[in-house]
Structure 1
Amino acid sequence: MSIPTLGRYRRAARIALAAAVVLGVSGCQGAESPSIRIGVGIDEPGMSLLSAGVYSGFDIDVASYVANALGKTEITYVRATPAQRDVLLTTGQVDIVVAAYAMTDASALSVAFAGPYLTTGQTLLVRRGSRIAGSDDMPGHTLCTGTGTPAAQRIVQKYPGVQLQTFDSYARCVALLDTGQIDAVTGDQVVLAGFARQPQYADEFTLVGKTFSTESYAVGLPKDDSRLCRRITTALTKMVSSGAWQRAVDKNLTPLGVRLDAKQNPPKLASCR
């Protein structure tokens, strides 16, 4: 073989090898991962509870349904407190969040939402026999709620006579209510209803008054990922139409005495921006 011919052969081999590498990399990138990381609550009975290594609740059923609809067979749940939800998404620690995540203008500055999939409202959990019968009775009392929640912001802005404590867990607030260190826990009805029915409190607590807000829960996702938003919206639409949404309500919320407003539930899903 002459030198020029050998040179051409070597150049052709290098080109073929480079093409094979490019095709191999493209093939890996094109294959969608079967895994998904979902931010969820861990201590909200009926909505999202981790007990003996098992997750259960309405949010968990929604998260599982959405993951399966996205073709994800490996789900990793990550604890997402109200104060952490935005951060977990913006820093890429989770792929989506399903954690009683109310759609708010503040959160919409940094994340996107697909939904809503549930509409509820803020209410009060008190000890039986309490003098607090509704939101008008809150001023002058000590309340507790979750850090970074719309409930906390609403109390600070609209009820200046309330002494408010906040924690990263509603369970900590309920423990304080149990020992009489606070007068009430405030939060969303579907979240507090689970605590009211916990066996360890032996019917000690009750929900009082009408809801005094409207909270629309949605699936949180990275901002500007319109494709993922559309896929999740499609999944939520099918969850409702197939009856799976109602079955999740009947299994998780109805036993807690939750009666969702039929005019607002299941909610009309918003369009992805």
Structure 2
Amino acid sequence: MQAGLVRKTAALFLALALTGCTAAATASQKKTIVVGVKSDQPGLGLLENGAHRGFEVDAGTYIARRLGATRVTFKTVTSEDRERLLAAGTVDLVLASYSITAERSTKVTFGGPYYVAHQDIMVRKDEQGIRSVRDLAGRRMCQASGSVSSQRVTSGLGIATRLVPSPSYSECFKKLLADEVDAVSTGDLVLAGFATRARDRVRITNTPFTDERYGVGLRKGDIEGCEGVNKAITQMYQDGTAAHLLDKWFGASGLRLTTSVPEFEGCS
């Protein structure tokens, strides 16, 4: 009798523990949601005067509110620490030009994408020798730490560029202006944000060669949260919010922006 009671008590504690873990891992059950965003990408996520601003900040706020959050806060993430901060529960969602890849999907659960960008190239305005990705052969291309964009050029397309390591795309942009690299290549929304700040000095070649499916990163296994994110993204496009935000942050760049609901990857 006593042994049976012990077993039932142990089973109850185990159930409670599992319930607690699930609640901690599910963004849709939280009233305060912490969104991880970049702090150095104009137009997408930029920290200015103590506040984060940009398309991903606004989209992250919209999605978190639709998940049921009554309070939304932001934390700076980098391309190198996104997975770690999600796994630790430091952030609940990540919107940080986070391209969905098979390798990354083994570490996090992706909602979305919330936008399908296209990898393109930014050069100095007087650069006439780089018109497409093939022209990057032998040229100095910036390699931002933690990003997969340079690999798509070198490993994916087999183009032998001269990679110049840099901690971030903001530093890549500075190197481009300082003539320390010949090109920066990544998603066109990232490039557009920087280009709007120096339109007289840089230009985008407008020769896209890959898709960049920007996803919402969640803690691995948060399927409920992922499904809620996808519903929120659908609503964001259907009610016109996405079109408004894209025009607000990138309309002046001249990029052809997509305002239809992206095809989702599916939660797994």
Alignment TM-score, normalising by the size of structure 1: 0.83
- In structure 2, what residue type is equivalent to 1:68? R
Q: Which runs of 5+ in 2 are unaligned?
A: 1-15
Aligned to 2:13: none
Q: Residues 68-113 of structure 1: CA distance to partner in whole angstroms, max 9, x if unpaired?
A: 1122232221111112212221222211101111110010011111
Q: Give me the whole-angstrom Cα distance separating, in 1, the residues matched to 2:66 and 2:258.
A: 27
Identity among equivalent pairs (%): 33
The reply on whether 1:42 has 2:44 as its aligned counterpart is no
8 Å CA contact 1:146–1:187 kept in 2: the answer is: no
Aligned to 1:228: 225
**Structure 2 residue matching 1:63: 3-state secondary structure:** helix
Q: Give me the whole-angstrom Cα distance separating, in 2, the residues matched to 1:181 and 1:167.
A: 11
Give, in angstroms, the shift of residue 172 of structure 1: 0.4
Aligned to 1:146: 144
Aligned to 1:161: 160
Q: Give me the whole-angstrom Cα distance separating, in 2, the residues matched to 1:178 and 1:227.
A: 44
Larger mean CA deviation between 223-232 and 145-154 belongs to 145-154
Q: Give me the whole-angstrom Cα distance separating, in 2, the residues matched to 1:217 and 1:258.
A: 17
Runs (4 or more) in structure 1 with deviation over 6 Å come to: none
Give, in angstroms, the shift of residue 59 of structure 1: 0.7
Aligned to 2:195: 196
Q: State how 1:1-273 maps to structure 2 within 5 Å.
A: 33-130=30-127, 131-157=129-155, 158-198=157-197, 201=198, 203-261=200-258, 265-273=260-268
**Structure 2 residue matching 1:105: 3-state secondary structure:** coil
Q: Give me the whole-angstrom Cα distance separating, in 2, the residues matched to 1:37 and 1:261.
A: 27
Give, in angstroms, the shift of residue 206 of structure 1: 0.3
- In structure 1, what residue type is equivalent to 2:147? T
8 Å CA contact 1:135–1:209 kept in 2: the answer is: no
**Structure 1 residue matching 2:103: 3-state secondary structure:** helix
| Distance verdict in 2 for CA 1:183–1:242, change over 3 Å | same
8 Å CA contact 2:234–2:261 kept in 1: the answer is: no
Give, in angstroms, the shift of residue 33 of structure 1: 4.3
Q: Give me the whole-angstrom Cα distance separating, in 2, the residues matched to 1:252 and 1:161.
A: 34
8 Å CA contact 2:134–2:159 kept in 1: the answer is: no
Alignment TM-score, normalising by the size of structure 2: 0.84
8 Å CA contact 2:43–2:250 kept in 1: the answer is: yes
- In structure 2, what residue type is equivalent to 1:266? V
- In structure 1, what residue type is equivalent to 2:100? M
Q: Give me the whole-angstrom Cα distance separating, in 2, the residues matched to 1:52 and 1:257.
A: 28
Give, in angstroms, the shift of residue 43 of structure 1: 1.2
Give, in angstroms, the shift of residue 232 of structure 1: 1.1
Give, in angstroms, the shift of residue 243 of structure 1: 1.1
- In structure 1, what residue type is equivalent to 2:130? I
8 Å CA contact 1:102–1:216 kept in 2: the answer is: yes
8 Å CA contact 1:116–1:268 kept in 2: the answer is: yes
**Structure 2 residue matching 1:114: 3-state secondary structure:** strand
Q: Give me the whole-angstrom Cα distance separating, in 2, the residues matched to 1:156 and 1:171.
A: 21
Q: Which runs of 5+ in 1 are unaligned?
A: 1-21
8 Å CA contact 2:136–2:159 kept in 1: the answer is: no
Aligned length in residues:
242
Q: Give me the whole-angstrom Cα distance separating, in 1, the residues matched to 2:199 and 2:126.
A: 14
- In structure 2, what residue type is equivalent to 1:272? C
